[in-house]
Structure 1
Amino acid sequence: MSEAITSTPKWVADLRNPPPPKSKSNNIPDPFGFPSSSSALSKKDKAALQTRPQPSPEEMDTLKLKKAWEVALAPVKNLPMTAIMMYMSGNSLQIFSIMMVFMAFKGPIMGLVGTNQAFERFESETNRTKMLQARLAYIAMQFVALALGVWKVNSMGLLPTTRSDWLAWESPRNYLEQAVAAL
């Protein structure tokens, strides 16, 4: 009876003493870039895998300029979806169309205000003149996005573009003659 109480279950014994790992088949090669610990790499090869040369300042400036152009052209990538959403929201004054117009103006205005913060991480002394072109493109794209918002406001009839929108500032006509109905 004491034997049954002191003996451990098989699963506990397996957890304490796991089976040895299966040996790797020699006919399957290691994936490229992932050599196994058992493969015979020289110290030079191991060092080459672990370290890479630092990019030159010219390469860094080129990379920063590419990233700056990606940031500069990002507002245009959102325009097709924004235009479709504005078209689908209709021209009536509803909460959804008003929110769309608000977002159409908020995004570009905040983008114009934050132009310097958007590009300061990419700017260096050597690429300052090239970065100016990306900034100007960014500003132009923000104005295109603002023009889309203005189009929506105009299509909703909220822009005063007709003569009847300015009747409060019209002076009444002075008539030269008046006709009075006779009895």
Structure 2
Amino acid sequence: MSTHAAEPLPAWAAQLKNPPAHKSKQPGIPDPPGYPSAQSSSNSKDGKATQRKAQTPEEMDTLKLKKAWEVALGPIKSLPMTAIMMYMSGNSLQIFSIMMVFMAFKNPIMGILATNQAFERFETETNRAKMVRVKLAYVVMQLVALALGIWKVNAMGLLPTTRSDWLAWEAQREAVEHAVPAL
């Protein structure tokens, strides 16, 4: 049948089947806060890890308000990269610069229109007054982003800011005298 005896498994294969035992914690080094230690779960009566205490409604409102501020300041965090990309795309009319301008206008307008939806998950009856300030800051940040789009349109020369842009509506001047050249 088989001429060779059963060969022992390599060390890595044996470790896959039987993982090494958990190393004991060094004395004097406490677990980090919120980390359920293996000893506390084994010492508990039902074998489950200890649960953290439930947060009070005031703590939940504070956390929700912090998260709402993060959402409100989100549009301003993307402005430096958008400004650099707009600057690097140049001022000529190309498909890339036109798409950049379109997105520079579309995103803030859609953000302003969806302000209530962006913050409805954070709003409660007790923090409604504080959420008004957060929403106002969000709208201001969106307006700053919209101003960046207006800057780009002006740099491209698409805003009618000079007198020559309005020549079609300007009346032709009446001449006081007419000169007739001689032969």
TM-score if structure 1 supplies the norm length? 0.81
Distance 1:19 1:52, change over 3 A: closer
The aligned residue for residue 64 of structure 2 is: 64
Distance 1:69 1:26, change over 3 A: closer
* 1:42 positional shift: 2.5
Give the distance between the partners of 1:147 and 1:119, measured in 2 at CA: 23
In 1, are the aligned partners of 2:73 and 2:137 still within 8 Å (CA)?
yes
Of all paired residues, the percent bearing the same amino acid is 63
The aligned residue for residue 130 of structure 1 is: 130
Give the distance between the partners of 1:119 and 1:56, measured in 2 at CA: 21
Distance 1:179 1:21, change over 3 A: closer
Give the distance between the partners of 1:165 and 1:40, measured in 2 at CA: 77
Give the distance between the partners of 2:65 and 2:153, measured in 1 at CA: 36
Higher Cα radius of gyration: 1
Q: Note the 1:140-179 alignment, pairs <5 A.
A: 140-179=140-179
The aligned residue for residue 80 of structure 2 is: 80
- The number of residue pairs the alignment matches comes to 177
Give the distance between the partners of 2:18 and 2:81, measured in 1 at CA: 57
Give the distance between the partners of 2:157 and 2:41, measured in 1 at CA: 76
Give the distance between the partners of 1:63 and 1:20, measured in 2 at CA: 44
Which SS does the other structure have where 1:51 is aligned?
A: coil
1:107-165 deviations in whole A, cap 9, x for unaligned? 10110111011000000000000000000000000000000000000000000111111
> Where does the alignment leave 5 or more consecutive residues of structure 2 unmatched?
none
Give the distance between the partners of 1:180 and 1:96, measured in 2 at CA: 53
1:42 corresponds to 2:47: no
* 1:65 positional shift: 0.3
The aligned residue for residue 102 of structure 1 is: 102
Give the distance between the partners of 2:179 and 2:162, measured in 1 at CA: 31
Distance 1:147 1:59, change over 3 A: same
Which SS does the other structure have where 1:50 is aligned?
A: coil
Distance 1:8 1:21, change over 3 A: same
Give the distance between the partners of 1:111 and 1:40, measured in 2 at CA: 47
Amino acid at match of 1:130: K
Which one has a larger percent helix, Structure 1 or Structure 2? 1
* 1:91 positional shift: 0.5
TM-score if structure 2 supplies the norm length? 0.81
* 1:19 positional shift: 7.6
Give the distance between the partners of 2:170 and 2:143, measured in 1 at CA: 33
Give the distance between the partners of 2:86 and 2:17, measured in 1 at CA: 64
* 1:181 positional shift: 1.1
> Where does the alignment leave 5 or more consecutive residues of structure 1 unmatched?
none
What is the Cα-based RMSD across aligned positions, in Å?
3.2
